[in-house]
A and B are shown apart, each in its own frame.
Chain A
Amino acid sequence: MLNVGQINEGFVLDHITAGKSMTIYRDLGLDKLDCTVAIIKNARSNKMGKKDILKVECDIDTLDLDILGFIDHNITVNIVKDAQIVEKKKLRLPSKIVNVIHCKNPRCITSIEQGLKQIFLLSDEKNEIYRCKYCEEKYSK
């Protein structure tokens, strides 16, 4: 088993579906942060067979993790302080998703307007339905 050192303050995102860690790396904007990130791919997991893990050493207020709720409910978010796990964050669906997913409706204004943020709003929490803020088209993965 590969060993990656523990972090003093930050997040450990566990139980990521194998192969999805790079997507989450980008969606969380980690490529834009000047902090230490460990990406562990295809780690052995009793529960999942294989999984990915992300370890991020940063101030715990730096990241907006709400988007993880949209990407995958099953990710475990451990918040680390003083090298200890102090909280396991419960993921929920964010009410708004900005610049993560794109509207696929060719008739939507987002297809031509320059500089417009791609915004999706949670319209039905029970059925996990997001709609484009502009054209109200349902997002389908």
Chain B
Amino acid sequence: MPQFRMTGRGLWITALIVPPLCFVALFIVYPIISAFAYAFFDWQGLKRLDFVGLENFHTVLFVEPYRSWTLNAFKNNIIVFFALMVLQNGLGFILAYALWRELPGARFHRIAVFLPVVLSTIIVAYLFKLFYHPLFGVVNISLKSIGLGEWAQPWLGQSGTALWSIIAAQAWHMVGFPTLVFLAGMQRIPSEILDAVRMETESEWVKITKIVWPLVAPSATIVFTLLFVGAFNWFELPYIMGGLDGSPFGSTDVLGLYFYRTAFGNVSAGQQDFGLGSALAVLIFIFIAAIAAVITTRLRAREIQL
């Protein structure tokens, strides 16, 4: 029988590994597993009743009114994802390229572009809420002062403009992040390659499409994946700017708000259901994990080792 002896070294390693393992198990693994478990029970308020199998999942996906709420929130998340892909990542790439090319004032702009990222989300949300104010907001007042008064809108009050207004605030807030990641990627491109291109062509377009874009693929993988996860977990801005109900009438509702309302209730609903909420959380988790895995492997495949 092999003898297990606690040597000084083994004791040290055990002593150092066990506390963090316990920590992870207690605060990460256990909550995730319990959320999974909650989803399979019927709840009355906070009281756990019977095991109901997949019924909660069935309810949120197929039973009215949950079905249309789920679909509406999911649809909005998809809009947010694609809109931010263009406004945040697309713009971020262009900004990064401009900064990398060291256009005049690049040092100043590098800081200016990244500055909003440092601001707290709450501050950004309130700031934009003021900008969009129908009576005193800077957006409407500017439009009126340049003679475009009929373009002045109650931005956050109309189903057609509310979500886009919040998306614009989000893009302004976070555009610095993809910019920074892309810029770092561009700065890693070896100068020999760039010199070689210069021998062939003067066209910026060719340089971007044939050299820069393929070579910043690792950066793209990171920002695309993070944007995907962020867009489907979006909560703070719509919560502050649209409210927990996704006002007006669900136009700014996203899965995060919908989950929160369902699990914890809100003042107007008076109902809270951990089972349905957990089922939603599990579905969101599985969806994000699955798609993020696909995105990551697909994008990894096109990365080029330098």
Do the two shown chains form a genuine complex with each other? Answer: no
Chain B residues close to A by CB (< 8 Å): none
Chain A residues close to B by CB (< 8 Å): none
